[in-house]
């Protein structure tokens, strides 16, 4: 079907944030490593980040700190995110090609949302720090869901807020848990290879395209793939 015959306003792009809108996962790993060192925990920060990607802080922290109160989890999270933001702020920018991609998608009338397990504070740090919040018709964070990825809740809630059927949504992700969550939500995925390789990402059955960044993607061509 030609993209000229498609009503693009019936479709939606749903973006993960960390590792998808911005290439920041290495900085998160460094801040986790600092937190572990501060508390004498012997845990590989890179491996921990990979296995917990897409999960909320109340799902991840007990894995290394045990049965702790929500207040303690919030305290640890604030400490870790203070380190992360200080490290990443000098490098804070959109992944290559994303600025033009968002402009073109907006011109076509494609609805867009952010669906991230990040805290509202970190979402503000990225979306407001890069002045892109108004690009998105919905922003769903860890504060809005009961279960992180690979549960589909965050993507289904994003589609609901945009008023778009799940089958008409494309998810942009960098993590395997996100691809699984999108599949469970009945959505196809586009992979951004900021952490995993393009070949590793393409091994996921519901991933319809993958690249290092957004430079090679055209919104109307991606919509054609699911229309």
pLDDT tens for residues 106-145? 999 999 999 998 989 999 999 999 999 999 999 999 889 9
CA dihedral sign, ordered 195, 200, 206, 207? positive
Is the pLDDT score of 48 beyond 90?
no
Is the pLDDT score of 11 beyond 90?
yes
Contact predicate 173/191, CB 8 Å: yes
**Average pLDDT score over residue span 34-59:** 85
Contact predicate 9/180, CB 8 Å: no
d(CA 114, CA 123) in angstroms, rounded, equals: 9
Contact predicate 226/187, CB 8 Å: no
Residue 38: what pLDDT?
Answer: 95
| Element containing residue 172 per DSSP (H, E) | strand 169-173
Average predicted confidence (pLDDT) for the chain? 93
Encoded tokens for 133: 């919040």
DSSP string, 107-136: HHT-EEEEE-SS-HHHHIIIIITTT-GGG-
Is the pLDDT score of 1 beyond 60?
no
d(CA 212, CA 192) in angstroms, rounded, equals: 6
Q: DSSP character for 3?
A: G
Residue 4: what pLDDT?
Answer: 54
Is the pLDDT score of 5 beyond 60?
yes
**Average pLDDT score over residue span 218-226:** 97
Is the pLDDT score of 2 beyond 70?
no
Confidence label for 45 from pLDDT (cuts 50, 70 and 90): confident
For 8, 25, 52, 223, the CA distances from 137, given in Å and listed in that order, are 15, 25, 27, 18
Express each pLDDT in 52-95 by its tens digit: 877 777 888 888 899 999 899 999 999 999 999 999 999 999 99
Residue 64: what pLDDT?
Answer: 85
Q: Residue 128: exposed, middle, or buried by beta-carbon count in 10 A (0-12, 13-18, 19+)?
A: exposed
What backbone phi and psi angles, to 5 degrees, belong to 114?
-110, 130
Q: Please tell me the pTM assigned to this model.
A: 0.91
Residue 54: what pLDDT?
Answer: 74
Residue indicated by tokens 């490098």: 91
């Amino acid at each position: 079907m030609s993209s000229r015959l498609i009503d693009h306003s019936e479709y939606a792009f749903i973006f993960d944030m960390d590792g998808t809108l911005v290439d920041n996962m290495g900085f998160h790993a460094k801040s986790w490593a600092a937190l572990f060192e501060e508390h004498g925990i012997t845990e590989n920060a890179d491996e921990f980040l990979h296995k917990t990607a897409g999960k909320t802080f109340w799902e991840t922290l007990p894995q290394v700190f045990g049965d702790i109160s929500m207040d303690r989890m919030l305290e640890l999270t604030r400490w870790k995110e203070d380190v992360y933001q200080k490290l990443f702020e000098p490098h804070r920018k959109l992944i290559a090609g994303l600025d033009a991609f968002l402009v073109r998608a907006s011109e076509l009338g494609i609805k867009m949302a952010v669906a991230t397990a990040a805290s509202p504070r970190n979402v503000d740090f990225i979306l407001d720090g890069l002045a892109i919040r108004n690009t998105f018709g919905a922003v769903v964070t860890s504060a809005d869901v009961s279960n992180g990825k690979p549960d589909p809740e965050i993507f289904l809630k994003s589609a609901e807020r945009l008023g778009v059927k799940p089958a008409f949504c494309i998810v942009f992700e960098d993590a395997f848990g996100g691809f699984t969550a999108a599949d469970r939500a009945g959505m196809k995925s586009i992979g951004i290879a900021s952490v995993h390789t393009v070949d590793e990402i393409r091994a996921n059955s519901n991933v319809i395209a993958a690249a290092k960044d957004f430079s090679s993607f055209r919104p109307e061509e991606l919509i054609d793939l699911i229309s």
